[in-house]
Amino acid sequence: MNNEAVKISFEAHKDRPVTVLLIDDQPMVGEAVRRMLEKEDDIVFHYCRDPGMAIATAVKTAPTVILQDLIMPDIDGLTLVKYFRAEPATRNIPLIVLSSEENARVKADAFAFGANDYLIKLPDRVELLARIRYHSRGYIHMLERNDAFEAIVRTQKALAAELAEAADYVQSLLPPRLTGAITVDWQFIPSTSLGGDGFGYHWLDDEHFAFFLLDVAGHGVGAALLSVSVVEALRTRTLAQTDFGNPADVLLHLNRTFKMQEHNHKFFTIWYGVFNRTTRELIFASGGHPPAVLVHGNSCRDAATVLLKTSGAMIGALEEIEFQNQTVTLMPFNRLFVFSDGAFEIVNDDDQMWEFDDFIALLTTPENGDLPTVEAVHDRIAELKGGRFDDDFSLLRLIF
């Protein structure tokens, strides 16, 4: 919320005077009320003798309270109350009806038509001043509240536009999908607020293909900025003294560079792998991240499922922790899924968390001779979530 905008909205009404509009066809009553109020420096008085001009006069003078007689020629006083409440400019202005009689039925009708108060004229000066100030103060506070609310709405719209622009920027950094010697397909669905998932892949040289997926804790601009910073550091290989072909070394230097105490207490998890297309070896390491799911074999029919994860804490939380590499040799048929926890953390209608094994089964169950596409996985998750993604959904599917 923009506090300055809200402050301005309050200051717009801070010095607004109590403004009284009297509508009465008797000049004697008008003069009597004027004399009651004339010594009050904080009160501005307007008088309208012609009830036919009452609405126009109220729109012009913008009173904070209206005093209105119930018995006037040409128009019934209750009807005029109804007209005031039908006009947008006067709908919420406090209205005190003045009557020459104490009549319960008339009182009930006046309140039913929208009057805020009922006085027998002419009232005592002290009582009249008290009621004028009471109703005016409530009305001015309502105007302040409405202006503050409108300022908040404007600020929220501006913030939403900025977040949408930031989300578009994050989307523009995502790598193109690949086909050929290595096939990479992906789905990225940001949550309702700007999230912190990021991923990328690139050739380190003619033989080695590096790829990664990270998930910054939390949401919003801070998480997105950290995610973009890490993605760019990996993509451009600007981490000093880092062997980008060695996943454990990459995670070690990320942990030294992106300490949470230096990045607004933000940390992240990551899965990083490097594939050697000559030896078909995949070397990988993870830091607090969900395991990648590898399905490989000589064919889809005899393929086995392997969860690829190494020990290692989240990045930035602890200093000088060790990370380990593991290696797997890929079979001719292979499908590798790398994802963030937003892809599988699902709460069903019974408030029960979806089991991780159910997600693994979704990824590894063949359809038409192959494992599901990222679109098919996303569609099933979206169905289970009711179309609402409270966390980023990131899923990479790679074929080597």
Give me the DSSP letters along 35-76.
Answer: HHHTT-TTEEEEEE--GGGHHHHHHHH--SEEEEES--SSS-
- Say yes or no: 271 and 376 in one domain: yes
Within a domain: residue 10?
Answer: yes
Q: Which residues are within 8 A (CB) of 308 and not within 5 positions of it... i.e. 6 or more apart? A: 271, 273, 282, 284, 286, 291, 292, 293, 294, 326, 328, 336
CA nearest to 51, candidates 67, 33, 72, 30: 72
- Say yes or no: 141 and 205 in one domain: no
The angle at the Cα of 53, spanning 52 to 57, to the nearest 5 degrees, equals 155
Q: Which residue, 147, 162, 196, sits at the end of a domain?
A: 147
- Residue 11, pLDDT score: 53
- Say yes or no: 116 and 202 in one domain: no
Rounded Cα gap, residues 63 and 2, in angstroms: 30
Within a domain: residue 160?
Answer: no
- Say yes or no: 123 and 204 in one domain: no
- Say yes or no: 68 and 103 in one domain: yes
Within a domain: residue 161?
Answer: no
CA 347 vs CA 195, 258, 343, 384, 389: distances in Å = 19, 32, 12, 8, 11
- Kindly report the pTM of this predicted structure: 0.66
CATH assignment of the domain containing 279 = 3.60.40.10
CA 23 vs CA 30, 33, 222: distances in Å = 8, 11, 58
Within a domain: residue 208?
Answer: yes
- Say yes or no: 353 and 254 in one domain: yes
Within a domain: residue 152?
Answer: no
- Say yes or no: 192 and 43 in one domain: no
Rounded Cα gap, residues 391 and 193, in angstroms: 8
The angle at the Cα of 214, spanning 211 to 218, to the nearest 5 degrees, equals 165
Structural domain count of the chain? 2
Q: Which residues are within 8 A (CB) of 98 and not within 5 positions of it... i.e. 6 or more apart? A: 24, 29, 67, 68, 69, 70, 119, 120, 121, 122, 123
Within a domain: residue 157?
Answer: no
- Say yes or no: 137 and 200 in one domain: no
Q: Which residues are within 8 A (CB) of 265 and not within 5 positions of it... i.e. 6 or more apart? A: none
Q: What's the N-to-C CA distance of the chain in angstroms? A: 49
- Say yes or no: 99 and 195 in one domain: no
- Say yes or no: 179 and 96 in one domain: no
- Say yes or no: 137 and 187 in one domain: no
Q: Which residue, 107, 129, 147, sits at the end of a domain?
A: 147
CA nearest to 92, candidates 54, 66, 131: 66
Within a domain: residue 332?
Answer: yes
Rounded Cα gap, residues 335 and 150, in angstroms: 52
CATH assignment of the domain containing 33 = 3.40.50.2300
Going residue by residue through the chain (400 aa), what tens digit of pLDDT does each one get?
445 544 444 455 567 899 999 999 999 999 999 999 999 999 999 999 999 999 999 999 999 999 999 988 888 899 999 999 999 999 999 999 999 888 999 999 999 999 999 999 889 999 999 999 999 999 999 999 988 888 888 888 887 787 777 777 777 888 999 999 999 999 998 776 677 899 999 999 999 999 999 999 877 778 888 999 999 999 999 999 999 999 999 999 999 999 988 877 889 999 999 999 999 999 999 999 999 999 999 999 999 999 999 999 999 988 888 999 999 999 999 999 999 998 888 776 666 777 899 999 999 999 888 999 999 999 998 888 777 777 788 999 999 9
Rounded Cα gap, residues 146 and 156, in angstroms: 15
Domain range for 49: 3-147
- Say yes or no: 204 and 288 in one domain: yes
The structure tokens 């010594």 sit at 39
Within a domain: residue 159?
Answer: no
